[in-house]
Amino acid sequence: MPTLQPLSALISILLVCPFAAISADKLPVGDLHDIVAFKNGDTLTGNIPGTTSTSIDFSNPAVGHLTLKWADITSVQIKHAVRIVSGPQGSKTNVFNNPTISVRPESSEDKLLLEVRETAQPNAVRLQNVQSIADVTAPAGGTQPLGWRLAKFKLNTAILAATQHQQTYGAELDLVRNWHADEQGWPHQRTLLQLIPSYDDKRKNNKPGSANITQDYFGKLQHLIFINSDNFYASSVADIYRNNSLGLYFQQAYGGGLGVIVHDIELNSDLRFIGQHFYPPTPSQSLVGSQLSERYSFSLDCIRPHTTLNETAIVTPVFNVGRAWQTQALIELVIPITAKLGFSLSASDYYVENAPPAFRKNYFKTTFGLQFSPAKKP
């Protein structure tokens, strides 16, 4: 028997070496950097190119390509920079380097809640309603397709008040174009085209001549160039506005500025030229000013899953003319009916300080309607 040991060892080496060579060729050390930990205690090491809100794309040479469910996972370690999209309707984007991602206990199949910790950061970040995780070198916008797409279409009418007869009919159309400059996706760009027509007929009583009819039109073309991440961007904008209740038969504005998106809050500031054309005999004005805007979106799942409350506040100070500033405010509640169809309830206010004397300075409107968002996923 002792004389057979060297022979057995040689046979073992000859059998193992070819498989070792194959494994070394198929299984480079540098490729197996991401670790998935399961609730049953098992772990897998391989590559995670991306995820959705329900599953993880995973692969390694031993098991091939797998689709793993978040419901079976406790944590994921990713050894590269990733972009995580979360928040109501994917409104929040964060970039993390080499993160450890834990699934929070209150997470469910309908709502993925994660806790993310970076190696260099002592505190973890809690993310609500996570939509996707992708390598930062992937084309911008995650799973959003390049080219033009319909982001939102809404039909609305007014809430009728007991003390005032009010008829309001309006619509909103939002078109978005996503594109990126190179294969790395940076800097990537997004264009928004927004059109909002509205017709208002308010009557405090039924007497002839008591009608207050307002034709309200708004159009906006905005182009964003994101800088190094999904959080910072440079913007250029052109918008037009008409509201005969405020004495404006046409207002045009052109400007450019910078913006930042932090969690669910977006802040933007720009410098702009504003051309105001009033109803006669008030003369037109050319204004130079700035627009400061803040937008905030947060979840109200206590009402219904995926319910969101969106708030926007805009202040436009003017530099070359005294008392010509403007403010805008909007608050909107969107309650989903299906994955893509929702019920909306909104209140908006537009204030023009230098409105002509014969017209009102303030225009307030409340509406409810149906909102269709074809880009949203079930």
CATH 2.40.160 in the chain: give the residue spans: 147-372
Query: Is the confidence at residue 18, as pLDDT, over 50?
Result: no
Residue keyed to tokens 């594109």: 179
314, containing H or E segment = strand 308-316
- 119: tokens are 């190696």
Residue 128 neighbours by CB under 8 Å, 6+ apart:
86, 87, 111, 113, 299
pLDDT digit string, tens, across residues 88-138: 666 677 888 889 999 999 888 778 999 998 876 777 888 888 888 888 765
Residue range 280-308: mean pLDDT, rounded: 90
Task: Report, as an integer, the average pLDDT of 338-355.
Answer: 92
Mean pLDDT over residues 181-189, rounded?
57
- Residue 365: predicted pLDDT: 84
Q: What pLDDT does 21 receive?
A: 34
Q: Are 178 and 223 in contact (CB under 8 A)?
A: no
Under 8 Å CB-to-CB from 283, ≥6 apart: which residues?
none
Which pTM does this prediction carry? 0.65
Q: Return the top range by mean pLDDT from 38-52, 136-150, 194-208.
A: 38-52
Read off the pLDDT of each residue in 320-337 and give the average, rounded to a whole number. Answer: 94
At residue 375, the pLDDT reads: 61
Say which CATH class 147-372 falls into.
mainly beta
pLDDT digits (tens, 9 = 90+) for 291-301: 999 999 888 87
Taking every pair of C-alpha atoms in the chain, what is the biggest distance, in angstroms? 118
Q: What mean pLDDT is predicted for residues 27-44? A: 74
| 297 compared with 87, residue with greater pLDDT | 297
Q: Which residues contact 103 (CB under 8 A, 6 or more apart)?
A: 70, 73, 74, 75, 112, 113, 114, 115
Query: 178 vs 85, which has greater pLDDT?
Result: 85
Which positions ≥6 away from 232 have C-beta within 8 Å?
226, 258, 259, 260, 261
Q: How far lies 91's CA from each of 44, 94, 130, 183, 230, in Å?
A: 31, 10, 10, 24, 11
pLDDT for the residue 126: 87
pLDDT at 295: 94
Higher pLDDT, residue 347 or 27: 347
Q: 86 with 127: CB under 8 angstroms? A: yes
Tokens encoding 186: 């940076």
pLDDT greater than 60 at residue 225 = yes
CB 165 within 8 A of CB 203: yes
Which candidate, 241, 174, 240, 167, places its Cα nearest to that of 202? 167
pLDDT of residue 178: 76
Rounded Cα gap, residues 371 and 335, in angstroms:
9
C-beta contacts of 265-270 below 8 A and 24+ residues apart: 265/294, 265/295, 265/296, 266/293, 266/294, 266/295, 266/296, 267/293, 267/294, 268/235, 268/292, 268/293, 268/294, 269/293, 270/235, 270/237
pLDDT at 293: 97
Mean pLDDT confidence for 190-199: 91
Higher pLDDT: 220 or 280? It is 220
Residue 285: the pLDDT is 94
The pLDDT value recorded for residue 19 is 33
E strand or H helix that includes residue 24: helix 5-26
Mean pLDDT, residues 297-313: 87
> 110, 305 in Cβ contact below 8 A?
yes
pLDDT of 377 > 60? The answer is: no
What's the rounded Cα separation, in Å, for the pair 314 and 252? 16
Chain centroid to Cα 347, Å, comes to: 21
**What are 135-156's pLDDT values in tens digits?**
876 554 444 556 788 888 999 8
- Percentage of residues of the chain with pLDDT beyond 70: 79
* pLDDT reading at 305 higher than 90: no
Residue 143: predicted pLDDT: 45
Among 240, 242, 238, 234, residue whose Cα is nearest residue 221: 238
186 beta partners: none
What's the confidence (pLDDT) of residue 16?
35
Tokens of 335: 């309650």
Q: b/e map of 277-307 (b: 16 or more CB within 10 Å)?
A: bbeeebeebebebebebebbbbbeeeeeebb
What pLDDT is stored for residue 4 in this prediction? Answer: 40
**Residue 168: what pLDDT?**
82
Give the other-Cβ count within 10 Å of 43's Cβ. 11
At 84 the pLDDT is: 87
